[in-house]
Structure 1
Amino acid sequence: MRYVAYIGNLAKLAVELANGDDPSDLRREFFAQHRVAEPDGAALAELLPALRDAVEAVADAGPIDPVNRLLAEFPPSIHVSTHDEAGGPHLHFARNGEDAASWLGRSCGAALAHVISGDPDVTVGRCQADGCARFYVDDSRNRSRRFCSNTCASRTTVAAYRARRKTTAAARPRPGRTDPSA
């Protein structure tokens, strides 16, 4: 496993949780690989405010305090794991089999710390579409993504096009009208 892929996937997991998305295949795979049970609602509800604050800080490029608070509440338990025999030994931030909230807090907190510290291959952003407060992990080649989904990108493009048409139409003289100042 490439370390950057691990950081990126944990950042995606943090974003998924912060956005309140349903569990993804990535989340199910992480939990299965690391023998972590799906968290109950109460445990997840305790973790989410700190995790959302940390994701927001990373997406907005600071301040770092929310990430540090998440790390203080869920200090990483860094160790070398070999569960992925094909990929060889690699770092983990939490122990296999931990309760879900602790595992998520430790793993996502450590990954977000890497990202806010400038990991060049992982970028977390906030959707630029009007009315959308979702976050995303930008894994595009040139790190130029601005929207959480194609839906938000399309909605923004259509709105800009309609605004330009409206401005252009308002600036054109209308046939059959005379200038009252003449």
Structure 2
Amino acid sequence: MHYVDYIGNLTRLAVEIVNGDGPGELRREMFRQHRIPEPDAGRLAAFLPLLRDAVRAAAEGGPTGPVNALLEQHPPLIRVDDHDGEGSPHLHFAPNGEDAVVWLGRSCGAALAHVVCGDPAVTIGRCHAAACARFYVDDSRNRTRRFCSNACASRTTVAAHRARRKAAG
């Protein structure tokens, strides 16, 4: 695993959780690889505003306060891990097998710190579609993605087309 992949995957995990997506393939795999049980729904709900504020700050390029608040509440415990010899050594921000919410706070907080500090390999955006507040990780080649999904992009394009046709008469 490349370090940038780890940062990117943790950032995607944070965005997935903030967007309220159910446990997707990435989340299941990250929890499985790091021996993390699914978080308790009540504790996750209590943690969500702190994570949401940090993701929003990372998407907007600051302020740094929300990311620092996440890091203060869940300070990373940096260690080198090779997944029991099954992978190449890379940094982890939390111990494997740790409580799910604590692990998420430590891991996602550290990844979002990289993003808010301008790590060029990982960027977060907020959907430009009307009435959509979802975030996304922009992994496009030139970092110009504007929508969280093809559905939002298509809906916006169709609405703009109809508005132009209506204005033209």
Given the two structures, how large is their TM-score scaled by the length of structure 2? 0.98
Partner of 2:124: 124
Matched to 1:53, the amino acid is D
Return the offset for 1:16: 0.5
Supply the AA of the counterpart residue of 2:36.
V
How many pairs align?
Answer: 169
Question: Residue 103 of structure 2 corresponds to which residue in structure 1?
Answer: 103
The offset of 1:84, in angstroms, is: 6.5
Give 1:146 shift. Answer: 0.2
In the other structure, the counterpart of 1:4 is 4
Q: Is the 8 A contact 2:61 2:118 kept in 1?
A: no
Deviations 1:112-156 (A, max 9, x none): 000110111101000000110000000111111000000000000
Match of 1:135 in 2: 135
Unaligned stretches of 5+ residues in structure 2:
none
2: CA distance, partners of 1:137 / 1:108: 13
1:49 matched to 2:49? The reply is yes
- Residue 67 of structure 1 deviates from its aligned partner by 0.2
- Runs of 4+ that moved beyond 2 A: 84-87
Equivalent position amino acid for 1:65 in 2: G
1:178 equivalent in structure 2: none
Q: 2: distance between equivalents of 1:135 and 1:106?
A: 20
TM-score, scaled relative to structure 1: 0.91
Give the SS at the match of 2:43: helix
Please report how far the alpha carbon of residue 11 of structure 1 lies from its aligned counterpart in structure 2 after TM superposition: 0.3
1:38 aligns with 2:41: no
Is 2:13–2:27's contact at 8 Å kept on the other side of the alignment? yes
Counterpart of 2:130 in structure 1: which amino acid?
D
Q: Give 2:136's aligned amino acid.
A: Y
Partner SS state of residue 156, structure 1: helix
CA RMSD of aligned residues (A): 0.9
1:145 aligns with 2:156: no
* SS across alignment from 1:137: strand
The match for 1:68 is: 68
Aligned to 1:180: none
- Structure 1: gaps (5+ residues): 170-182
- Residues 13 and 84 of structure 1, relative CA distance in 2, 3 Å threshold: farther
Provide closer, same or farther for how the CA distance between residues 86 and 97 of structure 1 changes in structure 2, counting only shifts above 3 A.
Answer: closer
Q: Retained in 1: the 8 A contact 2:126–2:136? A: yes
